[in-house]
Every structure is written in structure tokens, then in C-alpha cells.
Structure 1
């Protein structure tokens, strides 16, 4: 058997290493100039007015919820087919969490299901305060439809774009917040670009941006205009809100800035590999991912769906052959922690059907065509067994 092929991995260049080394030789390892530069670069890239960098996308989701005043008595909705952080961020704020099922074709938050659930929730007096649509695989949700429904019902929107930096919808970059209040990105090593660990929230609202800045750094300000009294001296600061230590380091920001220079190349390579998968897998008994004509997916993942009765066998056979397939994601409502809240199998059937069929194939810029051929050949053999 040849070497192990992971489902995703970082692409680190000499320029990335030099950028991090330069910070290590500088005066600032944290709270220096690299983080604001990175924030400005991502904001400019997406077309948003503000960027707020933090130490993970989970932290970004949390401070986004805090900025929108989510709290006890409020409700947050997201999809079951996501990483647990998309839901947990609501619990961090003391809110209740519920879910909207996915569309059987796009595998993203279903606007029809959302419309029906919002109408019922309005009648019951249980409208959510915050909605978190998730751009699974890097494919943008139908944000025009979701945004219109959110405006109709007075719901705030946080886009979970952890998979989707570099994605485009209807000519606009994901992160521009055209149909949302805040958009969150992840820079984990297997994502499109990496800061090792890290996240960032974009917004067009200066008040929300400032609230997130305070929340990421203990709720502390050194701005006299925000203080309750005149400063006692140059050392003076005030805690004016409850916050956390969610700061991004200078090394992480420098790595992110260097990686952003290759974002387009990364996405183009993923597009080419995905198109090649599309061709090589045609005719197999699998459902290929759908990419909308007016979207450019960032293609963090390439997910296929296989018949449920062949799912476990196919997955295990590929792992045994050194192909690091994965599954994104176990429906959040089926996790023991959420089942203890009252969620149960059958609550969100489309997400549960997806879980019984989905397999994430290897996809990353450094994946060679020879390795991709091996992935496809192994999948074919596993399905035929």
C-alpha cells in the first residue's frame, strides 16, 4: 500500500515560514501590527467594512452571538449538518438551540423548511433571535432567500463560512455580509487558508465590530471616550463589558497574511481537482456534490453520497487502503449532549439521511492527480465489493 492520503492538509511555503520568522524576530508576538493588517486584508478581500480576528472560528461565533445580545430566553437556529460549534455558540450565551433541516439536493439550510419553521414559530411566540446558516463544503447557502426571511421575521443572521473564504455568490464574495449581520471564517490547518488555529468575523456594522473587539479581549478598553471616568494616568484601562481572552497572535496573523496571497491559487486548484473528481466519478453509484451555477464554491470539502447499505463498508475499505476519508458531519442533534436536551432520531430526516450516506474524499491543493486516481480507484473497488 502506498502512503496515507489525508482528506485535507495545509500548504506551507517558504514565504509563510519567513513571515512567521519575521514576527518571531520582531518586538511583538501578540497585540502588535500584524493582526490589524490581517483584519484589514480579509475585510478588503470580502468587501466588508470591518474584520475582527480571534483565536478560532468557535470564538468568532461566540463573540458574534455576544455582539447580537443573544442571551437567556433567546433562541438560536442552525442546521444539524455542521460542526458542533455552530450550535454551541448559542449555549455559551445561555440561549436555547434548535435546528432547521437541510435541503436534500444542496445539503445546505433549506429555505422552504426555514420559511415553514419561522411561520410556525411566530404563531407560537418562539421566533429565534439568531440564525446561523452554514456554508457546508465551501458552497454558499441561498443567502438571498435566507436573508429575506430573516428580515421579514426580524431575525439576526450570522453566516458560518468556516469552509468558505474565497467563495463567491451572485458576484459577491462570501463575507461581504450583504444578507447577514456577521460572517465567520475558520483558519484551521485543513481549511482553505490557515493561521494554524484562528478565526475572523466580518461585519459592516461598526457597533457590532467594536462589541466583538471588546469581547475578544476581556471587555477591556483603553479608549478614553468609552470610559466611565477620566483616566488616572497613561496606565489606565477599564473593563466595560464581560469578555474573554480570544486574541489571535502575531505569528498566526503573519501566517494568514502570507497565505492570503495564494488564496486564489488555492481555490483554483481545488476547483480543478473537484472538476476532475466529477469526471472520474461519473457513472458510479454515488451522488456527487451540487454546485450552483451562480456560486463559486471555495471547495473546502468534496463530499459524495453512497447508498446507505454500502456506506460503512465503503468507508472502512477506503481507510484500510490508506485513503483518509472522513464524514462531515454527525448531525448535532444526535450528539449525546443534545439528545439529553430532548432531541431524538427522526427530528431532522434529511440531515440524518445525509449522515448515513456522506463520505468526504481527499481534497487539498497539494493532492496530486496520481493520488486522486488512487482515491477514485479505491472508491470504485470498495463500491464493487
Structure 2
């Protein structure tokens, strides 16, 4: 059965965030029996079928809880090539909480195979780091794999799970065997929250969102100081990547500390084919665009509006679909949303319906599968890696 929802009948947003909303999808929305919602006519303007259209089934892959009990999976990335202890096609997942469910204290990265085999890739000792990481270790959604098997993961540490004790943290650089070889800290890194990367030859660029600029001092009030950094690296084979320069390419994003979520601010980032960086502006239920992200030498502020409100409800993790559209997962309702670069929300599907309100705060990292026809995502309500296929 197909149910037609007119714009004024779009379900009201749950009170997970007291956010600014504005509806940008003014066309009818079709809800299919598979649970996937489509904005009528949205995909045809680009001549593309929505990526989420053929995806109907959510299947659990494996628990992401390692032996030490770390939980709250955040970062998600597919391993591109086999090297060292990394195996092509497996998924790395970083944990944000320790076994006591204290946020900003997780120290483990697990590796999950498509058939559900799980191994611990790394357990990071905050007392045994090769470089500075102010505050210690609390792994975040920021997780990337670079050539030669270098794994970069963000740390926003609290020590005890209290937002008031959050510190700047760093980016930790691990080799293909899970050993931390160097750290990147300072020079704008302040609560690295999410990240994407691109590499070519002996160069790589990290795009990192930061959420602690003024948030702790703000005491839970919204502070418009969130940033996006481009960190240019030189790749050196068996030697750890070297940080060459850091450029603030986005600034002024809304952020705040929160007792339930620790901190809320700009989260997912994804690089489009034309060099535009898309940013999930979580507090404003907005996708922003930073043009010329690979080459710009100054900030684009909060970027250009791509899409605001509508099906977006506190977007967190982000990935770019094979058709070039933007995939985001909502913190407010457990849905995944597909948006075109022109801002049309063409599809949505519920991935998590647990809790009250359903799916609130359950979804963070997501990554397109190697088959380019599926999406891996973590669900921290169940501490599982799942796949939509």
C-alpha cells in the first residue's frame, strides 16, 4: 500500500533537540511498503534513481563490544586494502564509551568482517602515547583509513563522562597493526568529532569537525564556534604521515554540551565529486556546503544551505552515495535520509525504532559498502554494526 503524505502532514519532530526547523520539501512524500519514503519527483531532476530506493533490509552484522566492555560505537569506515592486520572489505568501528557507559572514555577500535567475525584492532592506552593528546583518550566518530594502512581516529576525552571535563583531545595515528605511532594536536584541533579523508600519491587531506570551541565554557548554551579543518598531510610509506598545514575552511557552526549526548555540533562530513565538502549541521537540522574545500585558503563560515529541516532531524553521520547524493542519519528519529547536491530530499528509511522517541541518538557513523549497493551503520542503542542492503 502506498500512503500519500502532504507537506502539512509530515510528522512533527520529536523534542530530542529544541532546534530551528524549516521545511524545504514542499512536494508530496510517498511512503512505500518497504519503509522507504520518497519525495515525489525528487530523483528524476538529476536523472538518478535514489540510492536508498532498492535497499529494503536491515541485517545485524556483529556486536561491536570488545572484551573490555567498551560500547557506544561511533566511527565507521571500510578498510580499502589488505595490509598488516587490516583486511580489505572489513569495517573498523571506534567506541566512545567505556564499560561504565562514561562518554568520552572509549579506547578501542574493533574490526568486523562482512560475515560477522570480530577482532580487536586496537586498545589505546592514554598513559602511553607517542605525542600530546590533551585530556587523554575518548574515541569519536572521526575515523579514516589512509594509504599504507594508516588509521586516523579522533579523541574527545572527558576522563569521567562529564561534559564539563571535556578536553581538546587530538587525532591519533595508528599503523596497520593497531599501534599509535604519532598524534596531531593543537593548531585548531579542539574536540575532533567526525572526519573524512581523500588521498592521492604522497598527499592526503583530512577534513575534521571540531565541537569544543567555547562549548564547555558555555555550560550547555548554544555557542556558534564549531569549525571544520582541512589538515594537509604528506604520506611517507612506513613512516607516519607528516602534518604539513592546517586551514580553517568552515567556522561559526552551532554547538553545545548536552548531558545525554555529551556534545552536539557539526558532525558528519563528506566530499563531493566537485570538491564541495558537505557538513551535517546537527543543531540546525541542516546540510551545509563548503565549496572548493580542497583548495580554499580561508573559511567559508557556516557554508551554503543545501537542505534545511524537512526529513532532516538532527543529522549526525554522513556518507556520499555512489550516485553523488548525500546520506545522513538522524539523531532525532533513527532515520537515514538521502539528499541531492541541489538540496532535494529524495528518500528516507527508518534504521532504528527503539527507545522513546524511536531511534533518538542511536545512529552515528555510516559507510557505503565495497559492493556500492549497501550501507554499513552503527547502532549505539544495541551496540551493533548493521547493514542496509
TM bin (shorter chain): under 0.3
Higher strand share: 2
Task: Name the TM-score, length of structure 1 as normaliser.
Answer: 0.26
Task: Name the TM-score, length of structure 2 as normaliser.
Answer: 0.26
Q: RCO greater where, 1 or 2, for CA within 8 Å and sep 6 or more?
A: 1
Higher helix share: 1
